Amino acid sequence: MPRVNHTIDDRSPLIRYAPAGTWSLGSRTLDPLASRYSNNGTFTLCTTAGASATFTFNGTGIWIHGARRNNHGPYEINLDNDVKRFDGFQAVEDFTTPLFSADNLFNGLHTISITNRRDTSDARPYLDIDFITWTAEVQNASASQVVIPHTAGAFQYEPASAWNQPVSAGFNSTTAHFTTTTNAEASLTFTGSAISVFGAVSGTTAPYSVQLDNQPAQNFDGRVNEYTPQTMLYFADNLGPGSHTLKLVNLPAAEGQGLLLDYALVVDGGSETPTTADTSSGGMSSGVIAGIAVGAVALLASFVVAFFFWRKTAGRSKRASMVIEDRPLPPSSLVYTPFTMGSTTQSELLPPSERPGAPSASERPSNSIYPRSSMSQVSSAGGSRPPYTANPSEPDSPRERSYPASVSTHAYHPPDSKRSMVQLSHTADQTPYSAVPDMEESPPSYDHASYRQ
């Protein structure tokens, strides 16, 4: 299945830093090497033992990038409750390097956290994050990406009087929608397999909530000390077919804090979307095909009847004529009866082993044809996945360093039965993923799966 890389900067509200007040933005003034970080020298750092950053994503691979420096110490990675410990110290400082990478994950929902594990007596207290990249599978490589500006009719703002449109060269279209009114909301109706929303974060932007369709709302914090436009505020993929509605609500913690929306990106389903036959190109419609099929059957039946009566009258040479009696045709054996839940009893919906009168487990032979329920043997969607392995001394083959140019972010996916089945099917024969923190590599480049602008 085609894959695509997504990247978010350390400023994204979709990375959850905790506890409050333990993380701060890197300073270009105080750190003479700040320019060696990505995105014009942005990074987020901490020196507090136990301070953590958490991110949830949908995909098959994850890379957390930061710096390894002579004042950086031990840190811990928790990926889906598998915990490993690493050391960020390096005498020759290295920037935009993977602090952790894991590939060959099952395609599903994952949660990863990185925690500062400094010793209070250690002179190496620092841990920082530069950006996060993850790899996700897409339905097909022909999917296209559509930009929806904040002024499009698909966006609805309530109440309209609470929103204004500031002007800034940093916005995608020089303007944006902004509100400081508590509970003011913006909704977007769209059709597609993925959605991302961009806006700005700063010291005056507010916490906000996002609700997709009828799923529970999620809360995010847009407060960042430094103004950063065109920041991903929300991302969701693997959405089901049909129309979806996204609602963002401003939830200021103090007077004057607001929500600023710039634009959205929607990924359509590409060729995966069901299509109807194009009859304008000279092809036959389904009605014509059905008519031909019926005619062919009728013609064949005529030949059969004629042959039957020819054999019957072959020995009756004296008979000058014969009369064929009209009689109704037998009902067709090819008639399809649609299945409906109402036409089936409850016992017929059970597996054979659980129907009334079925032999018990002790009465069945060892080669019984009664099926077992594989679902009952799985305690959770994650299954019993083998732990990943960390092998810094034998890294994977170096891959070409290629940072995705497209913006992206949080990989939230609403729970649904289809997704759960995907997780189960991938967990059964999953290959343990690798965690290689000392490798000089970025995620593999999946240019062939990149969305078209």
pLDDT digits (tens, 9 = 90+) for 393-436: 333 333 333 333 333 333 333 333 333 222 222 333 344 444 44
pLDDT band at 312 (very low <50, low <70, confident <90, very high): low
Tell me, which fold does domain 145-270 have in CATH? Answer: Jelly Rolls (2.60.120)
pLDDT band at 443 (very low <50, low <70, confident <90, very high): low
Task: Answer whether 182's CB lies under 8 Å from 252's CB.
Answer: yes
Q: Which CATH superfamily is domain 3-139+402-439 in?
A: Galactose-binding domain-like (2.60.120.260)
Q: Where in the chain is the domain with CATH 2.60.120.260?
A: 3-139+402-439, 145-270
User: What six digits make up the tokens of 386?
Assistant: 């083998």
Residue 349 has pLDDT above 70, yes or no: no
For residue 62, CA distances in Å to 54, 133, 222, 276, 291 come to 12, 6, 23, 38, 55
Q: How far apart are CA 65 and CA 133, in angstroms?
A: 8
Q: What is the pLDDT of residue 124?
A: 94
Task: For 259-302, write each residue's pLDDT tens digit.
Answer: 999 999 998 765 443 333 333 334 444 554 555 555 666 666 66
Q: What is the pLDDT of residue 298?
A: 62
Exposure letters 98-115 (e unless 16+ CB within 10 A, then b): bbbbbbebbbbbbebbbb
Q: How far apart are CA 109 and CA 411, in angstroms?
A: 8
Q: How far apart are CA 401 and CA 262, in angstroms?
A: 30
Task: For 292-305, write each residue's pLDDT tens digit.
Answer: 555 666 666 666 55
CA 65-234-205 angle, to 5 degrees, is: 95
